């Protein structure tokens, strides 16, 4: 059963701690993306990667970091430099140029 798996579903951290969100896909998709969702603001692009070992900043990359060492995996680290880290984080992937984007079921991060 192919898909995009994000774990954990809920994550709680103390302010000042870095935290890494997992995203794994078994769809053999080339490109992977991280979006952030806040109430009333739609989704905003954090980082994306079109091939292994390469990634680009999106619109709100400050305070985040990523890696793409394997085709199947695209973890996102929320660093202590991110001023408002509490949000719903969505990972997505697509197979090739001009194909639709497919999303995982998200991780809700709460930082207190």
Partner 1 sequence: GENVEQHPSTLSVQEGDSAVIKCTYSDSASNYFPWYKQELGKGPQLIIDIRSNVGEKKDQRIAVTLNKTAKHFSLHITETQPEDSAVYFCAATAGFSGNTGKLIFGQGTTLQVKP
- How close are the terminal C-alpha atoms of the chain, in Å? 36
Backbone angles phi, psi at 81, to 5 degrees: -80, -15
Residue 31 within binding range of partner 1, rule CB under 8 A:
yes
Handedness of CA 89, 95, 97, 98 (dihedral sign): negative
Residue 16 within binding range of partner 1, rule CB under 8 A:
no
Q: Which is nearer to partner 1, 18 or 59 (CB)?
A: 59
Residue 71 within binding range of partner 1, rule CB under 8 A:
no
Binding site for partner 1 (CB under 8 A): 4, 6, 31, 33, 40-45, 48, 50, 58, 90, 92-94, 97-106
């Amino acid at each position: 059963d192919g898909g995009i798996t994000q774990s954990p579903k809920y994550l709680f951290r103390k302010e000042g701690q870095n935290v890494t969100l997992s995203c794994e896909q078994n769809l053999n998709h080339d490109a992977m993306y991280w979006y952030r969702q806040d109430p009333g603001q739609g989704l905003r692009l954090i980082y994306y990667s079109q091939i292994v070992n390469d990634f680009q900043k999106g619109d709100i990359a400050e305070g985040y970091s990523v890696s793409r060492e394997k085709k199947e995996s695209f973890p996102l680290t929320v660093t202590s430099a991110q001023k408002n880290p509490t949000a719903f984080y969505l990972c997505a992937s697509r197979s090739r140029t001009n194909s639709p984007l497919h999303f995982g079921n998200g991780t809700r991060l709460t930082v207190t």
